[in-house]
Chain A
Amino acid sequence: DVKVTQSSRYLVKRTGEKVFLECVQDMDHENMFWYRQDPGLGLRLIYFSYDVKMKEKGDIPEGYSVSREKKERFSLILESASTNQTSMYLCASSPNAGIQETQYFGPGTRLLVL
């Protein structure tokens, strides 16, 4: 079975802190994604990566950056956390580049920025 793990289930940070969210997948997938999920807004794509060291902006990249140094690991970075970044963050991976097939999700990280 595909396993996608996220470094923390719950995280509390202060405004202005630099925050790292880590995601690891164990199935040699090409694509990895970061979403945020907010009530009434559904899932929104922040960034995705289709190969090591490659990244593409999603729909809401402002205030975020990403890093993919190894195929299995995709990190989301909040350079200076703000209260409006309080949200549920979901990482996902999928096997092949191109036409989208199934995405496999991690359990999510609920981030609270005070």
Chain B
Amino acid sequence: SQQGEEDPQALSIQEGENATMNCSYKTSINNLQWYRQNSGRGLVHLILIRSNEREKHSGRLRVTLDTSKKSSSLLITASRAADTASYFCATDTSNYKLTFGKGTLLTVNP
């Protein structure tokens, strides 16, 4: 399996519920990032968490990082239909490069 794998592959929830997505990786990292992609569009950066940080917040987003377990989670609180998108984690496996996972497809039903 590749560096940076999201789980679950797909998630369907009702508007107002919280959505949690997980990412596991294999090698040591300097930082981990989460991106969002609306259908057929480019990726948009959401949040970056550094290896010496355990938790970070941005609006309705909360990201945690556990370097001992090589895992991260993205929590979206009070989800909205507009949050429907694919979410990717990315790790800096070497200088210059990010390695992306295959993504979690989140569907928020109105």
Task: Tell me which residues from 83 to 101 in chain B have a Cβ below 8 Å from any Cβ of chain A.
Answer: 88, 90, 92, 95-101
A100 touching B98 in the complex, CB below 8 Å, given contacts A42-B88, A42-B103, A43-B88 = yes
A103 within 8 A of B: yes
Question: Among the listed stretches B11-19, B41-49, B62-70, which one makes contact with chain A, having 4 or more residues with CB under 8 Å of it?
Answer: B41-49
B31 within 8 A of A: yes
Query: How many contacts between A and B, using CB within 8 angstroms?
Result: 62
B71 within 8 A of A: no
Question: Given A100-B96, A102-B48, A103-B43, 6 more contacts at CB 8 Å?
Answer: A42-B102, A43-B43, A50-B96, A56-B96, A92-B42, A105-B44
Cβ B42 vs Cβ A43 within 8 A: no
How many residues does chain B have at the interface if contact means C-beta atoms less than 8 Å apart?
24
Cβ A90 vs Cβ B42 within 8 A: yes
Nearest CB to that of B102 among chain A residues? A42
Cβ B41 vs Cβ A99 within 8 A: no
With both chains docked as a complex, state the minimum distance between the C-beta of B61 and any C-beta of chain A, in angstroms. Answer: 15
A61 within 8 A of B: no
A104 within 8 A of B: yes
A90 to B100, CA, bound (A): 13
Task: Tell me which residues from 40 to 90 in chain A have a Cβ below 8 Å from any Cβ of chain B.
Answer: 40-43, 45, 48, 50, 56, 58, 88, 90
With both chains docked as a complex, state the minimum distance between the C-beta of A100 and any C-beta of chain B, in angstroms. Answer: 4
With both chains docked as a complex, state the minimum distance between the C-beta of B5 and any C-beta of chain A, in angstroms. Answer: 9
A48 to B101, CA, bound (A): 18
A99 touching B92 in the complex, CB below 8 Å, given contacts A42-B100, A42-B101 = yes
A41 to B99, CA, bound (A): 12
A101 to B88, CA, bound (A): 15
Q: List 23 A-B contacts (CB under 8 A).
A: A4-B42, A40-B102, A42-B100, A45-B97, A48-B96, A48-B97, A58-B97, A90-B42, A92-B42, A99-B31, A100-B30, A100-B92, A100-B95, A100-B98, A101-B48, A102-B45, A102-B48, A103-B45, A103-B90, A103-B98, A105-B42, A105-B43, A108-B41
